[in-house]
A and B are shown apart, each in its own frame.
Chain A
Amino acid sequence: MTQLWDFSGGIHPAENKHLSTSRPITGAGLPEVLVLPLQQHIGEPAEACVAVGDRVLKGQKIADVTGGMGVPVHAPTSGTIESVSLQPVPHPSGMSDWCITLKPDGKDEWAPLNPVTNYRDLDRETVLERIRDAGISGMGGAGFPTNIKLRPPRDRKVNTLILNGAECEPYITADDMSMRENAGEIIAGLRIMAWILRPERVVIGIEDNKPEAISALRKAADGTQTEIAVIPTKYPSGGEKQLIQVLTGMEVPSGGIPADIGVMCQNVGTAIAVSAAIHRGEPLISRVTTITGYAVTDPGNFEVLIGTPIDHLLAQAGQENSKLHRLVLGGPMMGYTLETPAVPVVKTTNCVIAATATELPEPAPEQPCIRCSMCAEACPMELLPQQLFWYSKAGEFDKAEHLNLFDCIECGACSYVCPSSIPLVQYYRAAKGEIRVQQAEQLKADRARERFEARQARLEREQQEKEQRRKERAKAAAEAQARKQAEAEKADAEGQPANDRAAKAALVQEALARKKAKGQQQAETNAGAAETKAASEPAPDIDALEKQLAQATAKLNTMQSMLEDARAESADNVEKLERAVTKNHDRVKRAEEALAEARQSVAATDTQTTDS
């Protein structure tokens, strides 16, 4: 006996499964047109690889994903491509998307198939590639490409492979009927997946309200090392996270995937598709879908070609137009309403409920929350739904996120039990959407600011470089002049050797002045560098600039006193000293200017900071 764990919360809604289990799975027939959405799974949409007017064969690839994650789409029957156009697709928003419309020719002519006689002779990559080429994506929930899911990250070894046959949503019996009628194929598909993953444990989880399916699977699994775990009926035990908890006692870390704890879940429908793809070479072109509800006279399960419009299915099941009030795609707990029955069945379509007004009545008007906490009792994720509701309603999204809003799996158990008929899940969806929008806008604003700052920095740097070049040219010119002057003086001194001592003193002074000038030049370069640095940084280094100004002023003072001394002695280097003083004067002025500029830019940055 398999050890089972319980998950907290959960509810027991009326099952209504008997409606659609009274007869075996039947074919849904060939509709007049098949509408095949190019995007039927999470990832990149496929691109049509056929042209309008082409004749295609059953199973022929008609669209593929060339870049990124995705799987191809195949023609469900032979016929002609009528159009590639925008059509309404099954989506909560009622949106339209690109679809290939196929007009069946009624011949149902297969393209050549390429089955594998013994997959164990192939390497695993080839088998995964075949699963991808068969267009298989998860058939239970979100529809993740199966070949990618079957290839967990290298450091994550899958120890437990779970086949999800819980089917906890009321009404839906597609998996139940598949397990009853196709147990052998399910086990065959499961064995292929187990061969790819090499797990230590392979277990099929089924709720105990499906005794026929349990016995059929037990029989089919006899002799294989597959565990059949019969779990208590409780919604949402078929939720991936809940099923993992029930079967292993482990929890998938928040924000992580099951592979993080060495577990993988696959749906029973996916197992059938994998088996068909490998053993018979058939791509995924049909699936079992439940058509049920009290607004159809013959509810049941149908083997439906992907792309079959739902109104065709409803007609097969005996739709009573006068009774139909609400059309739900999926189960009554997590499914969404359709605006029109003219949308096609896709790879994830497991159920259509044609409900009457009494069956799924309009919700009662929302009353105030009385904090009864029944929602928290029902929540399988151990959240505090009522707090999330207040924060979501009040727009206090940070608090809602703090209380793990994003861990909500939107199973609807809280809304189901709320005595005040508050549509809690709707509030969470709205809050999640709002938070995502805010995050996207924040990201956009951040990028714009970065771009602006980078541009500002570039402009300043260019300005600095220009200034630097100008200074260098000026200096070169000044030096050239000084050299000329010195040469002239030297010539003079040679002409007056008597005044030897004064000439020597003059040379010394000149050397000193040159050295000083050099030093100053360096200081200037530094100052320039400091300025560039200051410009690229939000706050320029005012202290350094002030120091430079002080140094320059000190130098100017020294020069002036030297000049005065020279004048007093009426030495002949007075002229030179005078020039030096003028030069230093300029330097002081420049330093002052730089400082003032820096102060201004600091002030500007400050205002900017306060503004933003």
Chain B
Amino acid sequence: MALAQQSSPHARNARSTSQVMLWVILAALPGLLALTLFFGWGNLVNVVWCIAVALAAEAAILKLRKRPVAFFLKDNTAAVTGLLLGLSLPQFAPWWVSAVAVIAAIVMAKQLYGGLGSNPFNPAMVGYALVLISFPVAMTTNWAQPGLLWETAPGFGDTLSMIASGQQTAVDAFTMATPLDEYKHKITTHTAAEVLAHPTFGDGVARGWEWVNAAFLVGGLVLVGLKIITWHIPVSMLAGLAIMSLAFGSNADLYAPLSMHLLAGGTMLGAFFIATDPVSAASSHQGKLIYGAGIGILIYLIRTWGAYPDAVAFSVLLMNFAVPFIDHYTPPRTYGHHKPRRGIPGKGQG
């Protein structure tokens, strides 16, 4: 009788990485739905396209690296990267811009660093930042006008052809700046009331965007509820952003108000789906609080005084740089010890 020899624990009941990633994808669906409802088919097409490119790129580079392709493709992480890029790129971004972003994310930011778990930077945000800097026009002029799907937005076929053709002139009628961009540039010469008269803001905070953010918030809370992410990063990031906004920009005639910061742009997507990427985020509770707060503060700084409008990507990447440092100095206090052991071991320490 051959008895199996195994090291304890013998019982395991973990959600596998692929299940965790599947939950992330499912939790992002309300946000995708809201994006589709308010900004047309663009994001849906982007998401499908980006996931397809992501899987293809992952398979190709795994093959090049002589790694088991199916084993790693099944972990769903490439799909999540594609999904996040599809959700954050402009609705009418030309197909090749999306492809460049995804390939950069998968090949450069992830696999060239050693694959899953080894990347110091959030792959999706590396891809995003790369195309934002490389193709600023394509990235800033292809945002869809808000409006319910069945009212003003172009149909599915039109959207597909616009994305496929990559002709930016063809979409002028349906595109405009994002509300945060609009507010930032107009507020220097107009009052808050005049700025808010622009159709992008609608009756609420920022037409369409508030619902999209609310949907991502709901999805994010599901992830917190399922214990796939902890509350630390989203809460500290939103708190950092809110505190900065209240401290420096409480006058709506000078700076975008708090509601705009929280409910326009990619704030909630960033807080619950992007900043919480475990591979590139800080790991201890205290570290996560610092990491999230840093992102929140940087988002405010970049949005308010920076040259680029897309603050989330840059903030996340900047804080990715700080993660090893944060991790070294924020270990928790172990049971039975007086204080945590910070830093790296040196002489005189154990």
Which residues does A use to contact B, with CB under 8 Å?
7-8, 13-14, 170, 241, 245, 251-256, 321, 324-328, 330, 332-341, 353, 355, 357, 360, 362-365, 367-374, 376-377, 380-384, 386-387, 398-399, 401-404, 407, 410, 412-413, 415-421, 423, 425-426, 429
Which of chain B's residues have a CB closer than 8 A to the CB of A255?
336
CB distance from B23 to the nearest CB of A (A): 11
**CB-CB under 8 A for A337 and B6, given A372-B20, A398-B345:** yes
Which residue of B has the minimal Cβ distance to A418? B14
Contacts of A365 in B (CB 8 A): 71
Roughly how many angstroms separate A14 CA and B14 CA in the complex, as a whole number?
12
A371 to B77 alpha-carbon distance, docked (Å): 13
Please pick, from B75, B279, B281, B334, the residue contacting A404 in the complex, using a CB distance under 8 A.
Answer: B334
Q: Are B283 and A336 in contact, with the CB atoms below 8 A?
A: no
* 16 A–B contacts, CB within 8 A, in A order: A170-B11, A241-B336, A252-B336, A324-B1, A333-B11, A336-B7, A364-B16, A370-B17, A370-B117, A371-B281, A373-B283, A383-B332, A403-B341, A416-B9, A416-B11, A417-B14
Q: Do the beta carbons of B3 and A340 come within 8 Å of each other?
A: yes
Tell me the bound Cα distance from A255 to B19 in angstroms. 39
Quick check: is B257 within 8 A (CB to CB) of the other chain? no
Closest to B281 in A: A371
- Residues of chain B in range 131-159 having any CB-CB distance to chain A below 8 Å: none
- A382: chain B residues within 8 A (beta carbon): 332-335
Give 1 or 0 for each of B256-279: 1 = CB within 8 Å of chain A CB.
000000000000000000000011
Nearest residue in A to B74 (C-beta to C-beta)? A367
Complex Cα–Cα for A325 and B16 (A): 24
Alpha-carbon distance between A415 and B334 when the two chains are bound, in angstroms: 18
Interface string of B1-41 (1 = CB under 8 A from A): 10111111111111111011000000000000000000000
Cβ of B329 to closest chain A Cβ, rounded Å: 12
Contacts of A332 in B (CB 8 A): 8-11
How far is it, in angstroms, between the C-alpha of A417 and the C-alpha of B3 when the chains are bound? 25
Bound-complex Cα distance A353 to B4 (A): 13
B11 contacts A13, CB within 8 Å?
yes
Q: Are B8 and A425 in contact (CB under 8 A)?
A: yes
Q: Which A residues are in CB contact (< 8 Å) with B249?
A: none
Report yes or no: A14 in contact with B10, Cβ–Cβ below 8 A. no
Residues of A contacting B66 in the complex (Cβ-Cβ under 8 angstroms): none
How far, in whole Å, are A421 and B18 apart by their CA atoms in the complex? 12
Given known pairs A387-B327, A404-B341, the reply for A251 and B19 (CB within 8 Å) is: no
Q: Report A-chain residues with C-beta under 8 Å of the C-beta of B284.
A: 373, 376, 384
CB neighbours of A370 from chain B (8 A): 17, 77, 116-117, 278-279
Q: Identify 10 new A-B residue pairs, CB closer than 8 A, beyond the known A370-B278, A382-B332, A421-B16.
A: A8-B335, A338-B3, A339-B5, A364-B16, A371-B278, A371-B281, A377-B227, A398-B345, A399-B345, A404-B337
**Could you tell me the distance in whole angstroms from the C-beta of A405 to the nearest C-beta in chain B?**
10
Q: Would you call A421 and B14 a contact (CB within 8 A)?
A: yes
Tell me if B189 is interfacial: C-beta within 8 Å of chain A: no
B334 in contact with A254 (CB, 8 Å): yes
B230 contacts the other chain (CB 8 A): yes
CB of B14 within 8 A of CB of A384, answer: no
- B115 close to A368 (CB less than 8 A): yes
- Size bracket, chain B contacts: 35 or more
Q: Which residues of the partner chain B approach A372 to less than 8 Å between Cβ atoms?
A: 20, 278
- Closest B residue by C-beta to A334: B8
Is B331 interfacial (CB 8 A cutoff)?
Answer: yes
By the criterion CB–CB under 8 Å, are B332 and A339 in contact? no
Is the beta-carbon distance between A402 and B341 smaller than 8 angstroms?
Answer: yes
Q: Does B188 contact A (CB under 8 A)?
A: no
Q: For the complex, give the distance between the alpha carbons of A420 and B116 in Å.
A: 11
**In the assembled complex, which residues on chain B have CB atoms less than 8 Å from the CB atom of A412?**
8-9
Interchain CB contact (< 8 A) of B116 among A8, A335, A368: A368
Are B9's CB and A407's CB within 8 A? no
CB A376 to nearest CB in B, in angstroms, measures 7
Residues of A within 8 A of B337 (CB): 253-254, 404, 407
Q: Shortest Cβ distance from A236 into chain B, in angstroms?
A: 11
Bound: A380/B230 CA distance, A: 17
State whether B9 touches A419 (Cβ < 8 A).
no
A252, A376, A404, A421: most-surrounded residue (chain B CB, <10 A): A404
Report the minimal beta-carbon distance from B106 to chain A, rounded to whole angstroms.
15
Set B1, B14, B17, B331: member contacting A416, Cβ < 8 A: B14
Which residues on the A side are within 8 Å of B247 (C-beta)?
A: none
Which of chain B's residues has its CB closest to A396's CB? B345
Closest 6 CB pairs between A and B? A412-B9, A368-B117, A402-B345, A254-B336, A332-B11, A326-B4
Best-surrounded residue of B6, B12, B279 (most CB of chain A within 10 A): B12
B344 interface residue (CB < 8 Å to A): yes
Q: Chain B's nearest CB lies how many Å from the CB of A573?
A: 66
Q: Which residues of B contact A337 (CB under 8 A)?
A: 3-6, 10
Contact in complex: A367, B17 (CB < 8 Å): yes
A277 to chain B minimum Cβ distance, whole angstroms, is 32
Interface of chain B residues 90 through 125 with chain A (CB within 8 A): 115-118
CA separation between A415 and B68, bound complex, in Å? 24
Q: Is the CB of B11 within 8 A of A419?
A: no
Given A371-B278, A387-B327, A402-B344, the answer on whether A362 and B17 have CB atoms closer than 8 Å is no
Residues of B near A336 (CB, < 8 A) are 7-8
Shortest Cβ distance from residue B10 to the other chain A in the assembled complex, whole angstroms: 4
A14 and B278 within 8 A (CB)? no
Residues of B near A418 (CB, < 8 A) are: 12, 14
Q: Give, as a whole number of angstroms, the nearest-CB distance from B291 to chain A.
A: 12
Residue contact B335 to A368, C-beta cutoff 8 Å: no
State which of B3, B16, B19, B341 has its C-beta within 8 Å of the C-beta of A327.
B3
Contact B17 A14 (CB under 8 A): no
Whether B283 lies near A386 (C-beta < 8 A) is: yes
Is the Cβ of A369 less than 8 Å from the Cβ of B117? yes
Question: Residues of B contacting A425 with CB < 8 Å?
Answer: 7-9
Chain B contacts for A8, CB-based, 8 A: 335
Q: What is the CA–CA distance of A366 and B207 in the complex, to the nearest angstrom?
A: 46
Inter-chain contacts of B331 with A (CB < 8 A): 384, 387, 403
Distance (whole angstroms) from the CB of B109 to the closest CB of chain A: 15
In the bound complex, do residue B3 and residue A339 qualify as a contact, i.e. CB atoms below 8 Å apart?
yes
Q: In the bound complex, do residue B9 and residue A384 qualify as a contact, i.e. CB atoms below 8 Å apart?
A: no
Distance (Å) between the CB of B348 and the closest chain A CB?
12
